[in-house]
Amino acid sequence: MAQIALPYTPAYREDELRFDLLKQSFCERAHSYYTVYDEVMDQIIVRLVEPSVFASEYFVDPDTAFLVRDDDREVVGFTILNFQTEFIKRVPRLNELWEKHNLARSFRTFRTFKYEPKQQKKKQMPEQRIVAYSAYQSMAASELVAA
């Protein structure tokens, strides 16, 4: 049976989204963030709030979506689709770390990381660098959307 692709209709308008948490998350305050990689869907999810907090997806492009808390429209994370098959292939060093440390296996369930501001930062583990890079890419996308 043929599948019919319906056009994507976001639940919110762009100007309704709030980016306060995302903007503050990699600045001056220490906090936890949560990451999981889904091998079947080939997507990585980074959340700035507990995984139990419900969030809707707001697609920025076909492979990147913000996770939006419905009650206040706050962006609380992001997901990158086609992560292993496409996204990290565009960044050779990221791909090298991902494969070398078999991080797909490490992220099968949500992992909690502690972000510490630059002056407090200790040596990061390879998986933290990957998450930080993904967060950086998402922040750049959020600035494009918010502009």
| Cα–Cα distance for residue pair 132/97, rounded to 1 Å | 13
The domain ranges of the chain are 15-146
Angle CA(54)–CA(55)–CA(56) in degrees, nearest 5?
A: 135
Check residue 38 and give its pLDDT: 92
Give me the mean pLDDT over the 52-79 stretch: 91
What is the tens place of the pLDDT at every residue in 85-127? 999 888 888 889 888 888 888 888 888 877 777 655 555 555 5
